[in-house]
Amino acid sequence: MHPAPSIIFFTAASGAGYGLLVFAALAGLIGLVPVGSASGFALLLPALLLVAAGLLASAGHLGHPERAWRAFSQWRSSWLSREGVAAVVSFVPALGLAWAWALDGRLAPLLALATILMAVLTVYCTAMIYASLKPIPRWHHRLVPPVYLGLGAASGSAVGIAAAAWTGAPLLPLAPLVALALLVGWGLKWRYWQSVDTQPATATTADTVGLGDRGTVRLVEPPHTERNYILDEMGFRIARKHSAKLRRHALVAGLALPLVALVLALLLPSAAAALLLSIGAALALVGVAIERWLFFAEAEHMVMLYYGKGAV
Amino acid sequence: MTSLPATPSAKRLGLVIDLDTCVGCQACVVHCKEWNTSSGASALSDTEPYGEEPSGAWLNRVHGFELDDSASGGCGSTVHFPRSCLHCENAACVTVCPTGASYKRAEDGIVLVDESKCIGCGLCAWACPYGAREMDQVAKVMKKCTLCVDRIYNENLPVEEREPACVRTCPAKARHFGDLGDPESDVSQLVAERGGVALMPELDYRPTNRYLPPRRPVPTADQKAALEPAPGGFLGWLDRLLADQP
């Protein structure tokens, strides 16, 4: 599948934004960060900005962004519509939480819980847009929603602890939460990669033309000599050796380096720690962006069986 | 509304395509483009039609395949395969649509796009395993086969013209149009007689269109004899002698 920059940015940024909302709300509820205007602005402003930027970027993928409001109407059947509705609704508790936290200096527990619920729900909807598509076996996979949630939490908490560090909040209580999110998120992704690499093909060209019981079928004459929308959108190919390399880059940037930054930050004075954690957070976002690029680039659509691919 | 009709329509209009008689001439492709570029809400555009990288939106594409059925006793053949919307009963392209632009008609099962509501997100094309939808690169909306809904009910056309353009134009009569919901219809009878198949039933999209598989050639007695010439001489005499014995 064609890795469109707007969608990669949308899912990576909004995932991190919602992850950061969950991280902040949890940390506030458990009492791991002091509640006040400094921590409120440092944690919740970037979260809301990441979410908003992601949503705006997603509109960039549309042929008619001026009609985007229509996308809120079909929540009964469409995961994309549900995602849009959930994203807008999630702003209500999130803005309320941010208001109480940063301006009134108090934690509103119900708003914090509602924020967590809506953030999880929204990211789940985002993942289901892809996981519900049967013609793309690598997306129609049970681990896709957990991976989206896990990596949102991983990148969001990496940003969260960096933001908390700049306000001078104690890092030791937050560090285990961040390490856990990073390890779980990328652990799930590791499991997903293992699973899709050994996944048997779902269909052959003979199946797609209804001759599966007759023999093997091979394309000899494509319907057109030039590229078309189908090939541009669904005919993206990536060499196996490149994908292996990019998976390593994603793991190093998204998991290994943010973990190293986390451990070192606990040993350093606060200004240096904040700087180091910020670099770690940026790398965590880059790691998820690489992972998301691969999520598209490695996914194969069954329609390519009509265009010369033997099995998908 | 992108929810599918609550009760599947009794009438299920669709195509039956005969892979045995299709000669891959592309006439259906061309007539489809000709009719639908002037009849829809916007043209079926082409970009750079005479340039270096011509591209365009088409609703029907014909692929040429080679079938190797030697393992099941066949002798191999070329199969021309027209590919267009199958007007599925369980159409995921409809349910994934976030705006209600993509819909399935309750009265006859035709799947259509309301271009004025389409935001051009492309999700319906991703949801279709058959590659039936193409984004128009000029109008920025999704295009698909309408089963020539503006021909089949069009009382301004002579009766014989009230069928999809692809069916009307096919010189090999490889394309048939009718109600697949009615077991007595000509198309349903044809499907029953020829063992017509739905594409990839395991995906549960429940396509309406059916494809008739190529016939297996049954050699005549003369052809058999030509393929296996009877031995002459002593062996021939022995062969005839043994064949005559009860």
- Name the H helices within B7-113: 27-39, 92-95
Cα B108–chain centre separation: 18
B244 — pLDDT class (breaks 50, 70, 90):
confident
Residues 228 to 247 of A: which have CB under 8 A from any B CB?
A: 228-230, 233-234
| pLDDT over 70 at B1, yes or no | no
**Around Cβ B69, how many Cβ atoms within 10 Å?**
19
Task: Measure the CA–CA gap between B209 and B13, rounded to whole angstroms.
Answer: 8
The pLDDT tens digits of the residues spanning A112-165 come to 999 999 999 999 999 999 999 999 999 999 999 999 999 999 999 999 999 999
Whether residue A78 and residue B29 make contact (CB cut-off 8 A), yes or no, is no
Question: What span, in angstroms and rounded, lies between the C-alpha atoms of A221 and A225?
Answer: 9
Percent of chain B with pLDDT over 70: 98
Residue of A nearest to B81 (CA): A209
**Beta-carbon neighbour count of residue A168 at 10 Å?**
15
> Which of B15, B48, B59, B121 to probe the A interface (max A CBs under 10 A)?
B121
Beta-carbon-side half-sphere exposure of residue B193 (alpha carbons within 13 Å)? 9
Q: Does domain A5-307 have CATH number 1.10.150?
A: no
Interface test with chain A among B59, B63, B142, B216, by most A beta carbons within 10 Å: B63
In Å, how far is B228's CA from the nearest CA of chain A? 25
Is B81 within 8 Å of A74 when comparing Cβ atoms? no
> What does the CA dihedral A205, A209, A214, A218 come to, rounded to 10 degrees?
-40
CB contact under 8 A, B141 and A221: no
Cβ distance B120 to A136 less than 8 Å, yes or no, reads no
Cross-strand pairs, B77: B67
Show the tokens assigned to B124: 């319906």
Would the pLDDT of B8 be above 90? no
pLDDT at res. A262? 97
Interacting residues of B109 by C-beta distance below 8 A, sequence separation 6+: B8, B9, B11, B12, B13, B14, B87, B89, B181, B208
Contact B13, B180 (CB under 8 A): yes
- Is there a contact between A303 and B128 if contact means CB atoms under 8 Å apart? yes
A64 neighbors B141 (Cβ within 8 angstroms): yes
Cβ-based contacts of A303 with chain B (< 8 Å): 128-131
Contact A64 B211 (CB under 8 A): no
Domains for chain B: give ranges and CATH numbers: 13-219 (3.30.70.20)
CB A233 within 8 A of CB A307: no
Cα–Cα dist A239/A257, whole Å: 26
pLDDT, residue B246, reads 72
* Span A66-102, pLDDT tens digits: 999 999 999 999 999 999 999 999 999 999 999 999 9
**What's the pLDDT tens digit per position in A224-240?**
999 999 999 999 888 77
pLDDT at residue B237, as a whole number: 84
Token pair in block for residue B76: 């191999």
Angstrom distance (rounded) from CA B13 to CA B45: 27
pLDDT beyond 90 at B35: yes
- The percentage of residues in chain B with a pLDDT greater than 90, rounded to a whole number, is 79
Helix (H) or strand (E) holding B81: strand B77-83
Q: What is the mean pLDDT of chain A?
A: 95
Of A134, A207, A303, the CB nearest to B92: A134
Helices (H), chain A: 5-30, 37-59, 79-98, 109-131, 144-166, 175-197, 205-208, 229-234, 240-251, 257-267, 270-297
- Give B45: exposed, middle or buried? Use CB within 10 Å, 0-12, 13-18, 19+: middle
| pLDDT range class, residue B191, cuts 50, 70, 90 | very high
Q: How many CB atoms lie within 10 A of CB A145?
A: 19
Q: Does A78 touch chain B (CB under 8 A)?
A: yes
Percent of chain A with pLDDT over 90: 95
Question: How many C-beta atoms lie closer than 10 Å to residue A298's C-beta?
Answer: 21
* Residue bearing the bigger pLDDT, B124 or A240: B124
Residues A158, A281: contact at Cβ < 8 Å? Answer: yes
How many CA atoms, within 13 angstroms, populate the side-chain half-sphere of residue A132?
A: 21
Going by C-beta distance under 8 Å and a sequence separation of 6 or more, which residues neighbour residue A192? A141, A143, A144, A147
Do the strands B13-18 and B210-212 form a parallel or antiparallel pair, or are they unpaired? parallel
B198 and A230 within 8 Å at the Cβ level: the answer is no
**A178-236: pLDDT as tens digits:** 999 999 999 999 999 999 999 999 999 999 999 999 999 999 999 999 999 999 999 98
pLDDT in tens, B57-104: 999 999 999 999 988 778 889 999 999 999 999 999 999 999 999 999
Residue (of A83, A5, A1) closest to A290 by Cα position: A5
Interchain contact, B100 vs A70, CB within 8 Å: yes
Smallest CA-to-CA distance from A108 within A118, A119, A95 is with A95
In whole angstroms, give the CA distance from residue B149 to residue B108.
Answer: 10
Instruction: Say yes or no to pLDDT of B245 above 90.
Output: no
Residue A175 has pLDDT above 90, yes or no: yes
Q: What number is the average pLDDT over the span A36-53?
A: 95
Position B201, amino acid: P
Say yes or no to pLDDT of B224 above 80: no
Cβ contact (<8 Å) for A74 and B74? no
Give B11: exposed, middle or buried? Use CB within 10 Å, 0-12, 13-18, 19+. middle
> Of chain A residues 240-299, which have a CB less than 8 A from chain B?
none
Is the pLDDT at B229 greater than 70, yes or no?
no
Write down the domain spans for chain A.
5-307
- Whether residues B63 and A222 touch (CB distance < 8 A) is answered with yes
Is B39's pLDDT higher than 90? Answer: no
Which chain A residue shows the shortest CA-CA distance from B55? A228
Residues facing B66 on adjacent strands: A218, B78
ipTM of the complex: 0.94
The answer, yes or no, to whether residue B227 has pLDDT greater than 70, is: no
Q: What's at A154, amino acid-wise?
A: A
Q: Which of A214, A233, A301 sits opposite B69 (nearest CB)?
A: A214
Question: Could you give the angle at which helices A257-267 and A270-297 cross, rounded to 10 degrees?
Answer: 170
The gap between the terminal CA atoms of chain B, to the nearest Å, is 73
Residue A134 Ramachandran class (φ > 0 left, ψ -120 to 50 alpha, else beta): alpha
Dihedral, CA of residue A62, residue A301, residue A198 and residue A79, to nearest 10: 40
- Give the tokens for residue B167: 């069916």
| Neighbour-count burial for A124-136, b at 16+ CB within 10 Å, e otherwise | bbbbbbbbbbbbb
Please tell me the pTM assigned to this model.
0.93
CA distance A132 to chain B (A): 8
Relative orientation angle of helices A109-131 and A5-30, to the nearest 10 degrees = 150
* B139 contacts in chain A (CB < 8 Å): 63
Give yes or no for residue B230 having a pLDDT over 90.
no
Percent of chain A with pLDDT over 70: 100
The rounded distance, in Å, linking the Cα atoms of A228 and A224 is: 8
